[in-house]
């Protein structure tokens, strides 16, 4: 089994889901007492979030590249970044290591194609929805991603940072996000991307009558496929 390095903490809530899911997948495949061979580097999200707010992606790239290099030096044979938003710095991270960097967008695009989705509604932080780094990767894979309107994007940003990243899940926010999905369907979206690693804490695919890709889960599946060769 290859060792996977997890670059996490953004947020700690979703990194815990990664840890649980990676171990579940290994146990399901190998049985018995098997668990995943993991190294975790969990950064202080408050520092990263402040740099996000300041639009200082150069510094976030430096921090994450250094952390990824540390994981490789500790023995990681591939790196996963346990957050969608910070894949904005994917190139910085990949340049700092010589082991594979398993990109969450690639795993997501493959899963969407497998479900026959062409026009997915991308739900995530404002950065993920509005900046080109993520949508362009989906477009390059032949997809036509959609995003909520400006009010919906602002509200979803608040739900993620003020609630989900702090372990708060409310019925009101669940209903609001479901309304965004209904509006997206009205605009011909034919699937949904849980494009923030915390959204799966709020909704499950069973809550939605469209095909759903939870990026956390498909990212974990890609990592374990690599780990088990």
Q: Give the pair of three-digit tokens for residue 225.
A: 């496929």
Q: Which of 108, 196, 197, 216 is catalytic?
A: 196
Does the active-site annotation cover 220? no
Instruction: Give me the CATH topology for the region 105-214.
Output: Rossmann fold (3.40.50)
DSSP bridge pairs for 193? 122, 213
- Does the predicted TM-score (pTM) go above 0.85? yes
How far, in Å, CA of 173 to CA of 177, rounded?
Answer: 6
The band of 85, judged by pLDDT with boundaries at 50, 70 and 90, is very high
Non-local (6+) Cβ contacts of 67 within 8 A are 7, 41, 43
How far, in Å, CA of 72 to CA of 4, rounded?
Answer: 9
Identify the pLDDT of residue 197: 87
For residue range 50-66, list pLDDT tens digits in order: 999 999 999 999 999 99
Closest CA relative to residue 26, chosen from 219, 223, 218? 223
- Taking the domains of the chain in order of start, what are their residue ranges? 4-103+217-227, 105-214
How far, in Å, CA of 45 to CA of 15, rounded?
Answer: 11
How far, in Å, CA of 229 to CA of 227, rounded?
Answer: 6
For residue range 1-40, list pLDDT tens digits in order: 999 999 999 999 999 999 999 999 999 999 999 999 999 9
Same fold, 4-103+217-227 and 105-214: yes
Q: Which of 83, 85, 197, 216 is catalytic?
A: 83
Instruction: Give me the CATH topology for the region 4-103+217-227.
Output: Rossmann fold (3.40.50)
How far, in Å, CA of 201 to CA of 210, rounded?
Answer: 18
Q: Give the pair of three-digit tokens for residue 110.
A: 């493959």
Q: What angle do CA 228, 69, 58 make, to 5 degrees?
A: 125
Does the active-site annotation cover 83? yes
For residue range 175-227, list pLDDT tens digits in order: 999 999 999 999 999 999 999 989 999 999 988 999 999 999 999 999 999 99
Q: Are residues 5 and 93 in contact, defined by beta-carbon separation less than 8 angstroms?
A: no
Q: Give the pair of three-digit tokens for residue 137.
A: 């990767």
């Amino acid at each position: 089994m290859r060792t996977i390095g997890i670059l996490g903490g953004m947020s700690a809530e979703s990194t815990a889901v990664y840890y649980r899911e990676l171990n579940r997948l290994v146990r399901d495949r190998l049985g018995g007492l098997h668990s995943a061979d993991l190294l975790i580097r969990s950064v202080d999200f408050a520092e990263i979030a402040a740099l996000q707010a300041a639009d200082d992606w150069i510094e976030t790239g430096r921090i994450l590249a250094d952390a990824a290099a540390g994981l490789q030096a500790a023995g990681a044979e591939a790196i996963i970044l346990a957050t969608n938003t910070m894949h904005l710095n994917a190139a910085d991270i990949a340049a700092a290591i010589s082991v594979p960097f398993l990109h969450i967008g690639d795993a997501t695009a493959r899963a969407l194609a497998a479900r026959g989705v062409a026009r997915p509604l991308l739900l995530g932080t404002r950065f993920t929805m509005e900046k080109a780094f993520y949508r362009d990767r989906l477009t390059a894979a032949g997809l036509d991603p959609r995003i909520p309107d400006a009010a919906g994007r602002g509200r979803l940003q608040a739900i993620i940072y003020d609630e989900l990243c702090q372990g708060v899940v409310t019925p009101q926010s669940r209903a609001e996000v479901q309304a965004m999905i209904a509006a997206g369907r009205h605009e011909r979206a034919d699937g949904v991307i849980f494009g923030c690693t915390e959204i799966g804490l709020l909704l499950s695919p069973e809550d939605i009558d469209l095909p759903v890709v939870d990026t956390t889960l498909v990212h974990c599946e890609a990592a374990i496929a690599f780990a088990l060769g």
